[in-house]
A and B are shown apart, each in its own frame.
With several copies, the nearest count.
Chain A
Amino acid sequence: MAWTRNDIAARAARELRDGFYVNLGIGIPTLVANNIPDGMTVTLQSENGMLGIGPFPLEGEEDADLINAGKQTISELPSTVYFGSAESFAMIRGGHIDLTILGAMEVSEGGDIANWMIPGKMIKGMGGAMDLVAGVKRVIVAMDHCSKDGESKFVQSCSLPLTGKGVVDMIITDLGVFERPDHASDFRLVELAPGVTLDEIAAKTGARYAV
């Protein structure tokens, strides 16, 4: 049985280490925050200028001056720090963030990621996604294995405009986990969701990968 969205997030959470500073994208990656192991200190960065994202505020405690990069109201923690956008991205681009977990429309076998625009549709902009994939030490994509049309999202070569080229280190989908030790290596299938067979994943994957 394939993983649920929360299973994917829980699997991604197993990549966290004590003391990590992490930036989570929207969608499945947001769910990773609920799966941080007890006793582990993980600090979440919001690229609009905050380290130490707290949970959503209680009703009535929303603060218009306290939002995450998705423009949602959040709360602060005792260890929270605020800073400006230039400093925030200096931190990201300078390789000080340990890990980012992002969603994607497509990932290629070379580690390219596309998650910001669909040609012909209204362009909304890339926000901070290009900075994150280019700057953060380790980039994990958490996404459904196939699109709603049943097409593989882990492909030979991205058809959509790229967010970053050769930047992805690990891919976690509802069917399994692909990983590579460095950007020069191929991805290897290192884990299958319960009940998923090698044949099934091979049939549903456009990309070349080692087993």
Chain B
Amino acid sequence: MNRIFASAEEALDGLLHDGMMLSVGGFGLCGIPERLIDAVLASGVTQLTCVSNNAGIDGVGLGKLLRSGQVRKMISSYVGENKEFARQYLDGSLEVEFCPQGTLAERCRAGGAGIPAFFTRTGVGTLVADGKEHREFDGDVFIMERGIRADLALIKGWKADEAGNLIFRKTARNFNQVMATAAPLCVAEVEEIVPVGTLDPDAIHLPGIYVKRLICGAPYDKKIEFRTVRTVEA
């Protein structure tokens, strides 16, 4: 079984349709599946629901799909610094479901792990709890949150072997790991595809069972949102 495709377009062939839900990895611009997002842009598929912690920035990452009008709804925890997002949100053309970051991660994990709903303390007493079931366990109040299961997951890894076993690098792991599990099918782009047997079997972040299609997206010109440095003596 060959899971390696020559391009993002080929890797997504037959998987996209209008109105679908995508779970997308990345935090800010760190670890976003940019090649796959470009291919979704090129496909012209519309009315997308995107589950992603952030929505990119103007013209970068999911910001591209916002600008092109392909996204109908975002489920996110934070969407600062994005003018196109603000415009569409304020004029009502973009629906947004804000979800606390940890609840978002847990909802996606739950969706991928066969858990349709769970209880959490996060958001109790806030707008997030409005309309949700409240319940007391051992004297504390919790709200019920639902698992999220998308139609397709798009993620960015560092290295993968030919069996799809994948590792991430530093904080670029973030939501990629959990988003990959939150759909029946995940397409991954990585910086390097290595032979089976190269990666340490004890150190795989995402087993190949989740990574059904794979592309090497190198070379990457990774963007930094806020470049902060120190002087030598600090």
Contacts and interface: CB of A to CB of B under 8 A. Distances in A.
Chain A in direct contact with chain B (Cβ < 8 angstroms): yes
Interface of A: 18-19, 21, 41, 43, 45-52, 55-59, 61-68, 70-74, 76, 78-86, 88-97, 112, 122-131, 134-135, 161-166
Given A18-B1, A125-B79, A58 B103 contact: no
A56 B234 contact: yes
B171 A51 contact: no
B105 A85 contact: yes
Given A73-B228, A90-B113, A161-B127, A126 B78 contact: yes
Given A63-B170, A130-B123, 13 more contacts: A21-B209, A65-B222, A67-B224, A79-B208, A81-B208, A83-B207, A91-B207, A126-B98, A131-B101, A134-B122, A135-B102, A135-B122, A165-B125
Q: Is the interface of B mostly helix, strand, loop or mixed?
A: loop
Contacts of A70: 226
A79 B163 contact: yes
Interface string B201-227: 110110111100000000000111111
Given A85-B101, A165-B125, A94 B234 contact: no
8 contacts: A45-B209, A65-B171, A67-B27, A85-B53, A85-B102, A93-B120, A125-B76, A126-B98
A80 B230 CA distance: 19
Interface of B: 1, 3, 27-31, 53, 76-80, 86, 89-90, 96, 98, 100-103, 105-106, 108-109, 111-115, 120-128, 158, 161, 163, 165, 168-178, 181, 184, 196-197, 201-202, 204-205, 207-210, 222-232, 234
Interface of A is mostly: loop
A108 B189 CA distance: 45
Given A93-B113, A125-B79, A78 B174 contact: no
A94 B229 contact: no
B226 to A, nearest CB: 5
A90 B208 contact: no
Contact of B174 (A62, A84, A163): A84
A125 B168 CA distance: 26
Given A81-B207, A86-B108, A134-B121, A94 B181 contact: yes
B1 to A, nearest CB: 4
With most chain B CB atoms within 10 A of its CB, the pick from A19, A57, A66, A85 is A85
Nearest to B198: A78
- Give me the 9 closest cross-chain CB pairs, A-B, nearest first: A165-B125, A89-B102, A131-B102, A93-B114, A78-B197, A64-B222, A90-B113, A19-B1, A84-B177
Given A67-B30, A73-B227, A125-B77, A84 B122 contact: no
Contacts of B209: 21, 43, 45, 51, 91, 96-97
Contact of A64 (B80, B102, B105, B224): B224
Residue of B102, B122, B124, B173 ringed by the most chain A CB atoms within 10 A: B102
Given A93-B115, A126-B98, A135 B226 contact: no
A130 B105 CA distance: 13
Nearest to A125: B78
Given A59-B229, A84-B176, A47 B101 contact: yes
Contacts of B105: 84-86, 88-89
